[in-house]
Amino acid sequence: MCHHFVSSTEYEMTVARPALTSREYDQLCEATETYREELVVRLCGEVGLRAAEITRLRPADLANERERSGRFLAVREAGGGRRTAYVPAEVAHDLTQYVRSNEIATDEPVVGVTPRRLQMLVSEIGGRAARRSGRAAFEAVTPSTLRQYFGRRLLVDHGVDARVVAAVGGWQGVDGLLPREPPTREEIAVAFERLDGPGGSARLARVVSTLEAVDGELVGSRTREEIDQEVCARLTALYPAVWIADRAPGAAPTVRAHAGESPDRFEGAASTGLLRRALQTGRTLVAPDDPGPASERQGNGLLAAAPITHGETGYGVLVVRDESDDAFDEPERTALTALGRRIAFAITATERKLLLLGGTVLELEFGYDDRDASLLALSDALGCPLTLEGLVPGEDGSLVCFVRLETTAEAALEAAVNAVGIADARLIHRRDDGPLLELVLASRSPLLVLTDRGATVTGLRIEGGGASLTCELAPESDVRAVYDELSGEFPSVELRRKRERQTTRESPDLRSTIDEGLTDRQRAVLRGAYHAGYFEWPRESTAEELADSMGVSPPTLHNHLRKAQGKLLDELFDA
C-alpha cells in the first residue's frame, strides 16, 4: 500500500527532524521539572497530540470509560473537526491527577497557554536535556519531533496497524513516519521472533494497575517515612521484594524501607553497582540478582533499580526484584522510572506541607557573593540594596519574586529587563523606600535550588555586594546535600547558621485555614495577588497580568482566588 502526504497540516512530517530513540525519549522525560512539563511531553510523545491540540484540550474530552489499557480522547482539531485518540492508562492517570490537583474545571483548558508558548516549553526541556546529556541534538526537539516518535514507535517498534496509527495521530498516511533506510538482518529476525514470543500485555496491564494504586496512595501520605513504607508495601502485590535505599558516594547503600526481604540485602552484594549506575544515568536499569552474604537467599531472577529524583534533587533509589528472567521490558522500565519521579514529587510536596503545618523546623542562613547569581547581579548593577518581600511558584519551575530596590523605578525596571536569569519584570508600585518589582526568576539563583529542595525561603537581603538568605526545611532534611547542591552552582555559598526552632499554629483561625484549608495552588495565587497589589484600589496588577506571570489562564486564576477567598470568609464569619 502506498501512503503520501499532501495536506499542509502534515508539513510537520516532511521537514527533517531528529528521530528520537526510546532512550532519548526517556532522557527528555527525565529533563522535565514540573508535572505540567512532563504531561506536555507525554501528550505529544505517547498520545500524538499537536501543540495547538494540547492547548485546546479540556478535561471533558477524556472519556470516563476505561478500556483494557487506556481511555479514548476526543481531540479538537484545527477548523473545528474532531478525531479519536487513545491515551495509555498511565498517561490518562497523570492527566486526571494534574486536572484534580490544579482544580481545573471540565470546560477549562488543561494547559492554559498559547501553542507558541507550548512549543517554547518543549524547546526549553530539550535544551535542559542537551545540557545534562551533552547531546546538542536535543536542542532541535519540537512537539512535531515527539509526534514523529509516537508514530514510529507504534508503527515500527510495535507493529500497530497503519490505519490505526494514521487515525489516532491525525495523519493522512504513514510513509513519512517510516525509516528511509531498509531494515537490517537483525531487525528482520527480531520482528519475526515477536510473532512466536508470549504476549506481555497482561503483565503490563498488571504493572500499570499496581503503579496507579501506589501513585494514588502517595497523595494521602503525611511524612517521607510513610511514603517509603507505603510504596514498598503496595509494590509487593507485583514484586516479591522491594527496597528503597540511599547511596552516598563511596558508601554502601542504606535501606530506608523494605518489604518481602531483609534490609541487609545489599551488604557486600555485587549488585550495589546497579544502584549507583541508576542514580548516575537517571533511568531504570536491570541486572541479574546477586545478593550479598547477609542475605539468606540465593540469587535468582532480575533486579530493577529506578532513581527517585525530582529535578536535580535525589531521594535515593527504588529497587524491585522479579523471579522471571523475562521481566522488566522497555514499557515496564519506563513505568518504574515514572514512578520514581512520582515518589520524589510526593516527598518534596510532603516536606513543604510539614513546614506549613507548623511544629519543629530547621532554619538555615546562607551567605554568598557570586556575581552570576541573578538577583545579586541586579543589585550590583544598580548599586543599591535589594530586599525580597515575597515569592510564589511560577510557570515551569520559575519563581515569581516581589523585590524592593532602593533606587528609581525607571532604573530598576530597565536593569531587571536586561538581567540574565530574569525572564520577565514588571513594576508593581512606586514608594518612598523604593519601587516594588515583580520578577520572574528562571535561572541562576540559590532561591530556585532551595525551593526545588522543598525549602521555604523566608528572607533575602542583598547589600554591598553580598547576600544573606534564610530558609526553613523539614527537620529530617539532609543539610549536607542542600549545601553541596548550592555550593556546586554558587561556590561562594557559606552556611552561617543552622538551628531548630518551634513554630506554632493556633487553630482554628485564619492562619491555620490558609496553611491547612487551601490547596498549594490556591495559596500561591492568593499570596501572589496580595504581593502584586491585586487587592489595592486602584489595582496595581490585573488578573491577566498576574495569571501570565504565574503561568495559568485568567479563568483558572479567578477560580483559585474565589475558592481561596470563600474559605477564608467561611472561617471568619463562622467563627
498 plus 516 within the same structural domain: no
Query: Hey, which residues does 456 pair with through a beta bridge?
Result: 472
- Residue 549: CATH number of its domain: 1.10.10
Which cell is 150 given?
509516537
CA separation for the pair 94, 71 (Å, rounded): 12
91 plus 112 within the same structural domain: yes
Using CA atoms of 256, 258, 264, 265 in order, give the dihedral in degrees to the nearest 10: -120
In-domain check, residue 2: no
- Residue 69: CATH number of its domain: 1.10.443.10
Report the relative pairing of strands 241-246 and 82-88 from DSSP bridges: unpaired
Residue 162 contacts residue 172 (beta carbons within 8 Å):
no
In-domain check, residue 283: yes
CA 23 to chain centre: 18
210 plus 108 within the same structural domain: no
Nearest to 415 by CA among 439, 399, 434: 439
Residue 472 contacts residue 456 (beta carbons within 8 Å):
yes
CA separation for the pair 411, 25 (Å, rounded): 44
Per the structure, the complete domain to which residue 292 belongs is given by 204-352
Count of other CB atoms within 10 angstroms of residue 439: 31
Nearest to 218 by CA among 290, 153, 310, 126: 310
In-domain check, residue 289: yes
Query: Hey, which residues does 76 pair with through a beta bridge?
Result: 82
First to last CA, the chain: 73
Query: Hey, which residues does 362 pair with through a beta bridge?
Result: 473, 500
Q: How far is residue 530 from each of residues 85, 236, 284, 396, 514, measured CA to CA in Å?
A: 42, 47, 43, 22, 13
Q: How many domains does the chain have?
A: 4
Residue 31 contacts residue 53 (beta carbons within 8 Å):
no
- Residue type at 483 in one-letter notation: Y
468 plus 513 within the same structural domain: no
In-domain check, residue 299: yes
In-domain check, residue 478: yes
Question: What integer pLDDT is reported at residue 375 of this predicted model?
Answer: 96
Domain boundary among 172, 196, 220: 196
Domain boundary among 450, 471, 503: 503
What letter does residue 329 receive in the DSSP assignment? Answer: -
For 57, half-sphere exposure in the C-beta direction (CA atoms, 13 angstrom radius) is 32
Nearest to 310 by CA among 273, 350, 253, 366: 350
Domain boundary among 164, 196, 228: 196
Question: What integer pLDDT is reported at residue 182 of this predicted model?
Answer: 56
In-domain check, residue 3: no
What kind and span of H or E run contains 241? strand 241-246
365 plus 329 within the same structural domain: no
173 plus 28 within the same structural domain: yes
Q: Please, what are the averages of pLDDT over each run of 10 residues along the chain (575 residues)?
A: 37 50 84 85 94 93 80 89 88 85 84 88 90 85 91 80 84 62 56 48 71 71 80 87 74 78 63 75 80 54 85 79 81 84 80 62 92 94 94 81 94 92 90 91 90 86 95 84 89 93 57 66 84 78 80 80 82 65
Nearest to 514 by CA among 566, 447, 457: 566
For 226, half-sphere exposure in the C-beta direction (CA atoms, 13 angstrom radius) is 11
CA separation for the pair 490, 456 (Å, rounded): 19
Transcribe 481-530 into DSSP letters.
HHHHHHHHH-TT-EEEEEEEEEE---SSSHHHIIIIIS-HHHHHHHHHHH
Sheet with 466-473, strands from edge to edge, namely 422-429, 436-441, 399-405, 386-393, 456-463, 466-473, 359-368, 494-503
308 plus 435 within the same structural domain: no
547 plus 573 within the same structural domain: yes
510 plus 538 within the same structural domain: yes
Using CA atoms of 428, 431, 433, 434 in order, give the dihedral in degrees to the nearest 10: 40
Q: Quote the crossing angle between the two packed helices 22-30 and 115-133, to the nearest 10°.
A: 100
79 plus 131 within the same structural domain: yes
Residue written as cell 563511596? 250
Question: What integer pLDDT is reported at residue 2 of this predicted model?
Answer: 39
In-domain check, residue 1: no
In-domain check, residue 431: yes
389 plus 479 within the same structural domain: yes
Which cell is 520 given?
498549594
489 plus 418 within the same structural domain: yes
